[in-house]
């Protein structure tokens, strides 16, 4: 058995399992494009299992997808608020750095902060995960001090191969610096002496597990999703479950291996396994996992229809299919989330999603009390208030809609973001229905100043101002809603 570095923090298996539920939820919502929420789920999971390298890597991939889709960095106010929180624990400092990095995945200062906090906290696998990412990112715009930071971190962990690599980059930046050249030579000698004792590519948990199991971890860490590796993972998980059929963790591993393939055949196998386990144990978590797979399948089917429409944008038949499918999907999701709420009555997330499906299906009278309850949760307060007002409007309670939006606009601090645009737009809609043309124009004008192409705001402004006096909002008559 290899000797573990001093201070290494091993995470209990129970914590790993608890965290995995959050990671699974994060992966599911990321698949629907809710990247910010997915990031939050992964960070919560890492708060329980901070050494889950798979989760670190999945979170980074989500942050890169978010950036590629146009996602912006945190605002200056939000970043200052986070940075001034000054976490007392190194784990919280690591999570803070990772959150900042998730919203700005190319910022090497966040990578350094994450690595440094992880080292101090004893999360050495996390250090070995972020180290190569920092090394590569720093190469784009070399910073000598960051190479030295990497070198010293690897030295502390006894990872001589990586220390030599980082020091070599630093030495190339200062070829005439005899001290750094001597340091490079000494590290090379140290590497020769201890070659084989440690290996950064193996990871610190590997020193207390056999090499065959560690090789599987390495394959997962690299996020290799070839057909061969996925099939091998499925076969291995099946063998482990056969050896211990009553171990929940073995079933979870097999189900996840089947899900990663994203093939209907394997997903249906996973559904059958979960259904059998639910019938046998009566534990709803198995039924919930079954529902998650089915909802993911529906989302994938809709993406397929949308891709068909992109190829044939004038195909009216496909447009009708998408419209009908979205309604069918919303109904299926409503049934699923209703079931989840019944079994997890304190989970606000499920209530919010149920309320949203009621709203999407124009069941406004039923959606209203759901959003009234959900708005008590700070995490969902703003969005729940917006949907509450829209539900009031859809149900014909125009005054209640206006009052709800007016209060929300007066208390919402951010200006010009997506939520403030949405609440001002629908405030204009309610004022328009009340006959308050001036107030509606003012709300629409604010929306246009923030986002000129938002929905039909241009047409509504022109309609209210009137064709005869397009620049005199105060004289415009009431238009149609």
Please report, rounded to a whole number, the percentage of residues in the chain having pLDDT higher than 90. 49
Question: Does residue 276 register a pLDDT over 80?
Answer: yes
Region 390-399 average pLDDT = 96
160, two tokens: 């001589």
Region 455-478 average pLDDT = 66
DSSP H stretches of helix in 396-417? 398-411
Region 422-442 average pLDDT = 94
User: Rounded CA gap, 301 and 205, in Å?
Assistant: 40
Region 323-340 average pLDDT = 93
Question: Does residue 92 register a pLDDT over 70?
Answer: yes
Taking all residues of the chain, what is their mean pLDDT, rounded to a whole number?
Answer: 83
Region 111-137 average pLDDT = 91
Q: What is the pLDDT of residue 133?
A: 93
Q: What is the pLDDT of residue 348?
A: 94
Q: What is the pLDDT of residue 222?
A: 43
Q: What is the pLDDT of residue 443?
A: 95
Contacts of 82 (CB under 8 A, 6+ apart): 74, 96, 99, 100
- Is pTM beyond 0.95? Reply is no
User: Rounded CA gap, 266 and 380, in Å?
Assistant: 35
Look-up: residue for tokens 């397929």?
A: 304
Buried b / exposed e along 187-196 (16+ C-beta atoms within 10 A): bbeebeeeee
pLDDT tier, 317 (very low <50, low <70, confident <90, very high otherwise): confident
User: Rounded CA gap, 291 and 261, in Å?
Assistant: 17
Name the residue with higher pLDDT: 282 or 156.
282
Q: At what angle do helices 381-395 and 398-411 cross, to 10 degrees?
A: 160
Q: What is the pLDDT of residue 202?
A: 45
258, two tokens: 């089947």
* Stretch among 160-169, 388-397, 442-451 having the lowest mean pLDDT: 160-169
Q: What is the pLDDT of residue 70?
A: 82
Q: What is the pLDDT of residue 68?
A: 82
Question: Does residue 401 register a pLDDT over 90?
Answer: yes
pLDDT tier, 404 (very low <50, low <70, confident <90, very high otherwise): very high
Question: Does residue 225 register a pLDDT over 50?
Answer: no
pLDDT tier, 436 (very low <50, low <70, confident <90, very high otherwise): very high
Region 335-344 average pLDDT = 95
Q: What is the pLDDT of residue 350?
A: 95
User: Rounded CA gap, 285 and 263, in Å?
Assistant: 22
Region 96-120 average pLDDT = 91
Question: Does residue 184 register a pLDDT over 60?
Answer: yes
Most confidently predicted of 93-107, 207-221, 236-250, 349-363: 349-363
Question: Does residue 428 register a pLDDT over 60?
Answer: yes
pLDDT tier, 218 (very low <50, low <70, confident <90, very high otherwise): very low
Q: What is the pLDDT of residue 140?
A: 83
Question: Does residue 4 register a pLDDT over 50?
Answer: no
245, two tokens: 């059929």
pLDDT tier, 187 (very low <50, low <70, confident <90, very high otherwise): confident
* Stretch among 69-73, 136-140, 192-196, 342-346 having the lowest mean pLDDT: 192-196
Phi then psi for residue 416, to 5 deg, are: 90, 0
For residue 107, the number of C-alpha atoms closer than 13 Å in the C-beta half-sphere is 16
Question: Does residue 417 register a pLDDT over 60?
Answer: yes
Using alpha carbons, select from 83, 110, 95, 89 the residue that is nearest to residue 51: 95
Q: What is the pLDDT of residue 214?
A: 43
């Amino acid at each position: 058995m290899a000797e573990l570095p001093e201070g290494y923090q091993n995470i209990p298996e129970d914590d790993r399992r608890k965290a995995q539920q959050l990671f699974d939820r994060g992966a599911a919502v990321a698949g629907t494009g809710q990247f910010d929420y997915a990031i939050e789920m992964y960070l919560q999971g890492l708060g329980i299992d901070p050494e889950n390298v798979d989760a670190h890597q999945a979170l980074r991939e989500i942050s890169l997808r978010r950036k590629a889709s146009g996602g912006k960095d945190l605002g200056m106010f939000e970043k200052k608020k986070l940075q001034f929180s000054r976490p007392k624990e190194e784990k919280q400092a690591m999570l803070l750095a990772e959150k900042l990095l998730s919203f700005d995945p190319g910022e090497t200062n966040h990578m350094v902060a994450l690595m440094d906090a992880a080292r101090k906290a004893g999360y050495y696998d996390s250090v070995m995960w972020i180290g190569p990412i920092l090394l590569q990112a720093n190469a784009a715009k070399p910073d000598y001090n960051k190479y030295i930071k990497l070198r010293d971190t690897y030295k502390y962990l006894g990872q001589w191969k990586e220390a030599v690599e980082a020091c070599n980059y630093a030495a190339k930046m200062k070829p005439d610096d005899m001290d750094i050249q001597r340091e490079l030579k000494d590290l090379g000698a140290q590497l020769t002496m201890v070659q084989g004792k440690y290996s950064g590519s193996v990871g610190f948990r590997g020193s207390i597990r056999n090499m065959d199991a560690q090789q599987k971890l390495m394959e997962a860490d690299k996020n290799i999703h070839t057909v061969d590796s996925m099939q091998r993972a499925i076969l291995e998980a099946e063998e482990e479950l056969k050896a211990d059929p009553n171990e929940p963790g073995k079933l979870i591993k097999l189900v996840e291996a089947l899900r990663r393939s994203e093939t209907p055949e394997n997903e249906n196998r996973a559904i059958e396994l979960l259904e059998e386990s639910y019938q046998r144990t009566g534990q709803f978590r198995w039924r919930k996992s079954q529902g998650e797979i089915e909802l993911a399948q529906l989302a994938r089917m809709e993406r397929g229809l949308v891709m068909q429409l992109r190829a044939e944008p004038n195909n009216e038949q496909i447009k009708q299919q998408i419209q009908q499918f979205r309604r069918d999907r919303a109904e299926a999701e409503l049934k699923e989330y209703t079931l989840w709420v019944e079994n997890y009555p304190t989970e606000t997330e499920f209530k919010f999603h149920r309320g949203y499906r009621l709203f999407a299906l124009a069941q406004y009278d039923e959606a209203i009390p759901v959003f009234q309850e959900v708005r008590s949760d700070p995490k969902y307060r703003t969005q729940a208030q917006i949907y509450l007002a829209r539900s009031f409007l859809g149900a014909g309670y125009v005054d209640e809609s206006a009052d709800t939006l007016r209060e929300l606009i007066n208390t919402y601090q951010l200006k010009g973001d997506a939520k403030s645009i949405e609440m001002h737009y629908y405030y204009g809609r309610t004022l328009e229905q009340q006959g308050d043309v001036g107030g509606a124009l003012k709300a629409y004008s604010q929306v246009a100043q923030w986002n000129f192409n938002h929905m039909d705001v241009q047409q509504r402004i022109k309609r209210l101002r009137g064709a005869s006096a397009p620049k005199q909002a105060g004289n415009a008559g009431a238009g149609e809603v």
